[in-house]
Amino acid sequence: MSVSKERKNLLVLVDEALFSFNKAWFDISTEEFSREEIMDLYNLILETGNFKKTIRTKSKKKAYYMKVGRKDA
């Protein structure tokens, strides 16, 4: 599976944001992104292996959330 330039850029932005703000974790939710976008980003993160990653659902809203964190955080 090849990684598009846009997805690589997005991953770099995620990495830089985590590094810049010195945050161990942040949530990406369906309130801001579509489920497909979250799954795409999740698969990209799995592919690169640079991040800790989890996906969980919130039963009340059936919203998808992805927690992303740096491995060295």
pTM above 0.75, yes or no: no
Instruction: Give the pLDDT mean for 31-54.
Output: 65
What pLDDT is recorded for position 40?
Answer: 73
In SS3 terms, 3-70 reads as CCHHHHHHHHHHHHHHHHHCCCCEEEECCCCCHHHHHHHHHHHHHHCCEEEEEEEECCCCEEEEEEEE
Predicted confidence (pLDDT) at residue 56 exceeds the cutoff of 60: no
Domains of the chain: 5-70 (3.30.110)
Q: What confidence score (pLDDT) does residue 55 get?
A: 47
As a whole number, mean pLDDT of residues 32-44 equals: 69
Report the b/e string of 3-18 with b at 16+ CB within 10 A. eeeebeebbeebeeeb
